[in-house]
Structure 1
Amino acid sequence: MNPIWSPHVTVAAIAVDDRGRFLLVEEVVDGRRCLNQPAGHWDPGETLLQAVVRETLEETGYAFAPEYLVGIYHWEHPHKDLTYLRFCFAGRADSRDESRPLDVGIIGPLWLSPAELEARRDQWRSGMVGRCIADYCAGERYPLELLHCLAADA
């Protein structure tokens, strides 16, 4: 184990269109085509909400407006010494900027129904993909006011 444990804090977005399809990202990770929510690392100097808006835009071109926290997920990579702490948000994906270049490794955004997503389970980047959507479908919704950002001198 590393002498200094440093979990990777990430954010993920869940958006559903008017046909009940979920916004996902098709990407290449370690040479493998995967499906994931728009997701990524929390960067210094930003709030968790700013991070999920940024990551969704960078990976899909969609403007994302978070409305709820779905859950906080702890996942340990089965083959690497990596621990992730994911904050998953649900909200609206509004307009898409088709001219915006997407992050390196991103093939593009997809809208998949729950059945289509389940049929492609072997492509999920991790079990967090299905768990976040299952929790959303079960009605898990927590107010964004749960998150507090304190000034350094507080």
Structure 2
Amino acid sequence: MNTRWKPNVTVAAIIERDGRYLLVEEHTPDGLRLNNPAGHLDPGEGLVQGCAREALEETAHHFTPTALVGIYLSASHTRGEDGITYLRFAFCGELGAEVPGQTLDAGIVRTVWLTPDEVRASTDRHRSALVLQCIEDHLAGQRHPLTLLHTQLTAA
């Protein structure tokens, strides 16, 4: 049997305001963890639109991506077995208004604003190493224009 390997495509919002980063605290199989507002790209959705949607669902705030911070490949494999691979597109941008009455996505407990040092000090609570890596890249000034990305969606 010949099967094709396919990574899980995710989008993440790297949101900074006044020297603090917006993270979500969420239930995971490993307990409560901190993560950037992030999630899976939906079928028929562009990367920028997916990031804006995920940020709204997880933070109850509008978010407008303005630049790509980075593209990250994260894989968990055990010897002799296929694991899960994530291809993450992380965006920074402008945080908009909170949407009154908007409930947070299932599993999201709350949002928290942390300084970079607080994020670094809490790595044992991160959902993955990408939480800190994306913030460090943002702090280093990594910004790529959205024109780098192209979406072509066609009807089947």
The normalised TM-score by structure 1 is 0.92
Query: Counterparts of 1:90-105 in structure 2 under 5 Å?
Result: 90-105=92-107
Q: Is the partner of 1:5 in helix, strand or coil?
A: coil
Q: Distance in 1 between matches of 2:127 and 2:9?
A: 16
Q: Is the partner of 1:77 in helix, strand or coil?
A: strand
The equivalent residue for 1:20 is: 19
The equivalent residue for 1:111 is: 113
Shift in Å at residue 98 of structure 1? 4.4
Shift in Å at residue 31 of structure 1? 4.6
Q: Is the partner of 2:106 in helix, strand or coil?
A: coil
Shift in Å at residue 147 of structure 1? 0.6
Match of 1:133 among 117, 127, 135: 135
Q: Could you tell me which runs of 5 or more consecutive residues in structure 2 were left unpaired when the two chains were aligned.
A: none
The equivalent residue for 1:38 is: 37
The equivalent residue for 1:86 is: 88
Q: Could you tell me which runs of 5 or more consecutive residues in structure 1 were left unpaired when the two chains were aligned.
A: none
Query: Counterparts of 1:30-69 in structure 2 under 5 Å?
Result: 30-69=29-68
Q: Distance in 2 between matches of 1:78 and 1:137?
A: 30
What RMSD, in angstroms, separates the aligned Cα atoms of the two structures?
A: 1.7
CA contact (8 A) 2:11 2:39 kept: yes
The normalised TM-score by structure 2 is 0.91
Q: Is the partner of 2:26 in helix, strand or coil?
A: strand
Q: Distance in 2 between matches of 1:53 and 1:103?
A: 14
CA contact (8 A) 2:44 2:153 kept: no
Q: Which letter maps to 1:16? A: E
Q: Which letter maps to 1:28? A: H
Shift in Å at residue 134 of structure 1? 0.7
Q: Is the partner of 1:65 in helix, strand or coil?
A: strand
Q: Is the partner of 1:6 in helix, strand or coil?
A: coil
Q: Which letter maps to 1:107? A: V
- Aligned pair count reads 151
Q: Distance in 1 between matches of 2:52 and 2:122?
A: 26
Shift in Å at residue 78 of structure 1? 5.0
* Identical aligned residues as a percent: 48
Q: Distance in 1 between matches of 2:23 and 2:153?
A: 34
Shift in Å at residue 97 of structure 1? 1.9
Q: Distance in 1 between matches of 2:57 and 2:75?
A: 25
Q: Indicate whether 1:75 and 2:74 are aligned.
A: yes
Q: Distance in 2 between matches of 1:28 and 1:78?
A: 22
Q: Which letter maps to 1:3? A: T
Q: Distance in 2 between matches of 1:73 and 1:31?
A: 22
Q: Which letter maps to 2:61? A: Y
